[in-house]
Amino acid sequence: MSGSASSLRYRRVLLKLSGEALMGKRPYGIDVGMVQRLAGELKDALLGGVEVAVVVGGGNIFRGLAGAARGMDRATADYMGMLATVMNALALQNGLEQAGVEARVLSAIPMPTVCEAFVHSKALHHLESKRVVIFAAGTGNPFFTTDTTAALRGIEMKCEVLAKATQVDGVYSADPKTDSNAVRFDKLTYGEVLARDLKVMDGAAIALARDNDLPVIVFSIEESGNFFKVLRGEARATLISGRP
């Protein structure tokens, strides 16, 4: 970790991790080495004085939309996807605890033998007690993505920013991995993201962030240490806010 606590731009952050972020270079599932690396970055943030909440996806294990596309009932497929996020959350919690960091998994679907149920006041207490809070099982409802969950939990936890971790260094006009003419944006407004139908997050998540003035920073998790750069305002990233 580098940089002083006084140089940090944010003090309470919601980090959105995709399930794919936990795969590392594996084709599916969870890469323990990647989990350990992410745990180390979260530990650095915590030691720097930042309160960190995390929403993790489940696409490395099961994706509800993909299941529905194969003929499965959408609600059933989404519930399966929510359970996949619980598995990822437990893996991340384990990585954090091995790194000496207190962490709690709070699930929107109560499962008391596995983790705590999401309770707003309890989640805030954990954050204020300098524990990493990992939100699992989405919103607990089908037809909502974990991006929407991230915006919702970020607002509920009074976070200063939603940091959306991706495989690229910001928002592009098209997929830069397949379109060499894709244009990268440094800043966007919520309205521009919705009007241009940019696929960085689903429309519900962007609208929720807009209506509650929650800035979104889109950055690459591929580069080690990049999350701390986001906290210092130094990462190559795209800022989505209400200001052009």
Q: Is the pLDDT of residue 67 over 90?
A: no
Residue with the two structure tokens 């384990």: 94
Q: In b/e form, how buried is each residue of 153-186, taking b as 16+ CB within 10 angstroms?
A: bbbbbebbbbbbbbebbbbbeeebeeeeeeeebe
**Spatial separation of the C-alpha atoms in residues 109 and 215, rounded to whole Å:** 27
Output the average pLDDT for the chain: 93
> What is the mean predicted confidence (pLDDT) over 154-167?
97
User: Confidence band (pLDDT; 50, 70, 90) for 81?
Assistant: very high
The percentage of residues in the chain with a pLDDT greater than 70, rounded to a whole number, is 97
> Structural domain of residue 229, as residue ranges?
5-241
User: Confidence band (pLDDT; 50, 70, 90) for 1?
Assistant: very low
Q: How far apart, in Å, do the first and last CA atoms of the chain sit?
A: 32
How many domains, in total, are found in the chain?
A: 1
Question: What is the longest distance spanned by two Cα atoms in the chain?
Answer: 53
Q: Which residues are CB-contacts of 166 (< 8 A; sequence separation ≥ 6)? A: 18, 200, 218, 219, 220, 221
User: Confidence band (pLDDT; 50, 70, 90) for 234?
Assistant: very high
Output the pTM of the full model.
Answer: 0.94
**Other CB atoms closer than 10 Å to residue 236's CB: what's the count?**
14
Q: Which of 40-44, 59-63, 79-83, 137-141 has the lowest mean pLDDT?
A: 59-63
User: Confidence band (pLDDT; 50, 70, 90) for 27?
Assistant: confident
Higher pLDDT: 111 or 199? It is 111
Give the CATH number, domain containing residue 165. Answer: 3.40.1160.10
Q: In b/e form, how buried is each residue of 58-81, taking b as 16+ CB within 10 angstroms?
A: bbbbbbbeebbeeeeeeeebbbbb
- Answer whether 225's CB lies under 8 Å from 41's CB: yes
